[in-house]
Amino acid sequence: MRRLSSGKWPAVGRPQERCECTQLVFPELNLTIEGVSVAGVETWLRIPEWGLGIDTGRSPDSIVRCRHIALTHAHMDHAGGLGQILALRKLWSLGPCTVYAPAPSCADLASVVCAWQRLHGVEFDWSLVPMESGCEADIGGGRRLRALAADHVVPALGYAIVSHPRKLRPEFAGLDGDALRQLQEQGTEVTAPQRRVLLAASGDTLAGALERSTELQEADVLLHEATFLDERRTRDDAHKGGHTHLDELIERAQGIQARHFVPYHVSQIYSADEARRVLSQRIPPDLLNRTTALLPGERVAPAGYAGDWNTTGQFPTVRPSDLTR
């Protein structure tokens, strides 16, 4: 995988518009992360190998295919697509879908989806699992979804995907195959399950979540939100929205043990190129070597938009009349 520090961008999909899907491939982990994440606009992640989606964004087909959808929180840019995803799963006979969400938001989410079912005249094939920090759910393939504490302006969670592969017990290291087989025949357990955090996503949160969950520190792949990246916005600006400033991740860089660090949920005030440049310049070298950001592609105006599209990193305000000119 190409790194930020190499000056090349690893997105497999050609990034053309700000919400075009980016795909990050981690071959040694047998893991792909597809996703879109622009703070306030749209965030979703999909791990196709696991049939798992984290957040729904605005209902991309990618998430429609997921049997398990973990919602970090119910802000529209993260969860607004849920109703349509369930409707499309029904239309395409994709079978049941299990949705996990912060427990305090479940009653409202259920009533919104129930209202959509009535409006749609169809019953969706879904179940809703209320989650709290520390809750785990089996998502198949020997993997468990674990909810992590998050501090946001509404009830929120991060998620870790944990597995327990069996590994040779340390006292038998160095024994050859025959010796191990003999021990097994005598009824000795030569292996023991070992906890491994395959991936963790912080969701929208203040930076303190990193200290609260060892899963965020230990994950093979850590996705952590980094809404603001430099002096254009202060830490206070980030905190007002319940978000993390890159300054705070840099301070915690030594605690990030992940093999791959994936900053995401970057604000739309940065173009993708700006974000890449700022991340490359500011993240300390040891962490930068392990960093692959999930950034949107180049920005293009919404279809039909005839106004000037500035390149300063600020999106113009698009009024409905602009779109039909």
Site for Zn ion in 68-97 (CB under 5 A): 75
- Smallest gap from Cβ 23 to Zn ion, in A, equals 24
Of residues 75 and 290, the one with the C-beta less far from Zn ion: 75
DSSP assignment of 262-275 equals EEE-B-TTS-HHHH
CB of 38 to Zn ion, least distance (A): 12
**Site membership for Zn ion, residue 243 (CB under 5 A):** no
Record the tokens describing residue 158, joined without a space.
């991060």
Please report how close the Cβ of residue 243 comes to Zn ion at its closest, in angstroms. 8
Residue (220 or 248) nearer to Zn ion, CB:
248
As a whole number of angstroms, the distance between CA 36 and CA 251 comes to 26
Residue 305's contacts (CB-CB under 8 Å, 6 or more residues apart) are 318, 322, 323
Report the nearest approach of Zn ion to the CB of residue 61 (Å). Answer: 23
For residue 185, with 0-12 CB atoms within 10 Å meaning exposed, 13-18 middle and 19 or more buried, which class applies? exposed
The encoded tokens of residue 116 equal 């959509």
How far from 163 is each of 140, 145, 178, 199, 303, CA to CA, in Å? Answer: 10, 9, 28, 10, 43
Residue 284 phi/psi, 5-degree rounding, is -60, 150
What is d(CA 246, CA 274) in angstroms, rounded to the nearest whole number? 14
Nearest of 272, 253, 262, 281 to residue 221 by alpha carbon? 262
Query: Measured from the CB atom, is 34 or 204 closer to Zn ion?
Result: 204
In the complex with Zn ion, the residue whose CB is nearer, 75 or 90, is: 75
Q: Give the count of residues interacting with Zn ion (CB under 5 A).
A: 2
Kindly state the smallest distance separating residue 73's Cβ from Zn ion, in Å: 5
Q: Choose between 11 and 70: whose C-beta lies nearer to Zn ion.
A: 70
- Binding residues among 173-212 for Zn ion as defined by CB under 5 A: 204
**Contact map string, positions 3 to 42, toward Zn ion, x by CB under 5 A:** ----------------------------------------
Between the two ends of the chain, the Cα-to-Cα distance in Å is: 43
Between 269 and 283, CB nearer to Zn ion: 269
Instruction: Please report how close the Cβ of residue 204 comes to Zn ion at its closest, in angstroms.
Output: 4
Interface contacts to Zn ion, rule CB under 5 A: 75, 204
